[in-house]
Amino acid sequence: MPIQEIGRLRRRITHTTTVEEIKNTFTKEITKGNPYAIKEYKKIHPDYGSDFDLKKLIKTAHANGMYVVLDWVANHTAWDHSWIVTHPEWYTKNKKGTPIAPYNWIDVAQLNYASVDLHFAMIDEMKYWVQKFNIDGFRCQVASEVPTLFWERAVKELKKIKPILMIAEAEKESLLENAFDIEYGWEVHHILNSIAQSKMNVLDLDRYLEKEVKNFPKDKMRLHFISNYDENIWNDTEYQRMGQAVEVMTIVTYILNGVPLIYNGQEYDSHKRFRAYQKDTLLHQEGKMMPLYKRLKDLKKTNSFLHTGKKPASYHRITTNDDRVFWMCKREKNRQELFFIANLSNKKQKLKWPISGHFKEFLKKKSIDIKNKSECDFKPWEYKILLNQ
C-alpha cells in the first residue's frame, strides 16, 4: 500500500459511502480511508512514522541485501489534492467541466495525461523518493490505466538517478517494452483460484502456460500470488477461496517462471480478512507456512532451475495418465533439474509415473526411487518436489 497522506474530502467509509454522508463524528475520525486516495505525494502518512524512520528502514533493508519498493498511484489523486485547484486541466472532466472519478471509485479524481506538464510533474514526485530516500523502485497501481508513454518517460528519468525495479499492477504487453520489469499474473491467479474451487482443471492452466511461453517476453517477469491487497479485502482470504489447496497453490507460485508474492499475513497462516478503509492489525504468530516459505525461498535462491528474468530456467510440461488433474513439469538450467508433480483436484488420484530415477524429495528430506509406469496414489492437493540425487 502507499505510505503517503490520504485525502479527507469524500473519504470512503464503505465502498459506496463517504464521510460527508454520515453524522457519527466518532466513525468519521476512526475511518482511515482509501490508501490509494493520495493527498500529497511527497508526504508520509503520520501513522507510518517520519522521514527519519523511512530512511532508517531502507538503510537496514539494504544492509541485509533487500530492496524497498514504494507503492505508486499515478492514475488518480484524492479530491483535496492541491492540483484540483492549481491545475484543474490535469484532470479528466465530464461535459460540465467537472473532474470525475474513475469507475465507481468515488473518493478519487482521475488524472488526464493529455497534458505533458502533468507527465513531468508526476515524474518529479517519483524522483523525490529515489533521491531523498534511496527507494529502489515502484509498484504501480492500475498501471494500464495510465498511458504507456508516461511510464516510459518516467523510467528513463528515474534510471538517470539509479537502477530501479518497476512492477506493474496490470497485464499489458506494451508496458513491458520500455518501462516495466514485472507484471502482475492476474490471469493465472484466477485460474488457480478456479482450479481450487473445481471450476477449472489443469488443462486450463496448460492452455495459459502454452500462451505464456510463446508470447511473454523472456527477459521480463510475472508476479505470481494467491493473495494480495485487493484479493483479501474484496474476495476474502486464500483459505476461504482455496480451502485445502492453499499449500500446493503457494508452491505453484514458486514453481512457475516468475516472482512469487507473499502478502501481509500469509507467512503467519493468517485467516483474517482485512477491513477496507479502517486501521487493522495482524497477529504475528508463526504457524506451518513460515517454515515452508523459508524452505521455498532457499530453494529458489540457491538453485538455477528456478531462475527467472533475463536468463530464465526452462519449463517442460510432462504428460501424465490424467492431465486434467495432474500437473507435472520439469524446470531446468545449468544441468540442474527439478520435477514437480501435484494432484490439483479435491479427490484421490492414481498416478502412473512418466519418469524414472533416484530422487531426493524436497521438504520431506528423504530419497525416493521411481520406476517408469509404476503407480502411486496422491491424496487431494498432494504434491512432490523431486530433485536429482
Residue 301: the pLDDT is: 94
pLDDT at 30: 64
CATH class of 4-312: alpha beta
The string of DSSP letters for 195-242 reads HHTTSS-HHHHHHHHHHHHHHS-TTSEEEE-S--HHHHHHH--HHHHH
* CATH tag for 317-388 (out of 2.40.50.140, 3.10.20.30, 2.130.10.10, 2.60.40.1180): 2.60.40.1180
Q: Nearest-CA neighbor of 138 among 172, 104, 91, 170?
A: 170
pLDDT along the chain (389 residues), means of 10: 93 82 68 92 96 98 97 98 98 96 95 98 99 98 98 98 98 95 98 98 98 91 96 96 98 98 96 89 92 96 93 96 98 96 99 97 93 98 95
Torsion of CA 117, 123, 128, 131, to 10 degrees: -130
Domain boundaries, the chain: 4-312, 317-388
pLDDT in tens, 109-160: 999 999 999 999 999 999 999 999 999 999 999 999 999 999 999 999 999 9
Burial call 150-169: b when 16+ CB within 10 Å, e when fewer:
bbbbbbebbeeeeebbbbbb
Residues sharing a CB contact under 8 Å with residue 19, sequence separation 6 or more, in sequence order = 8, 10, 11, 12, 13, 28, 31
Q: Tell me the three state secondary structure of residue 148.
A: helix
At CA 83, angle to CA 78 and CA 84, rounded to 5? 65
The pLDDT value given to residue 17: 84
Yes or no: say if 325 and 348 are a contact pair by the CB < 8 Å rule.
no
Q: What's 278's DSSP letter?
A: B
Output the pLDDT for position 123.
99
Pairing, β 375-378 against β 165-168: unpaired
Q: What is the pLDDT of residue 105?
A: 94
Q: What is the pLDDT of residue 27?
A: 66
State the pTM of this model: 0.94
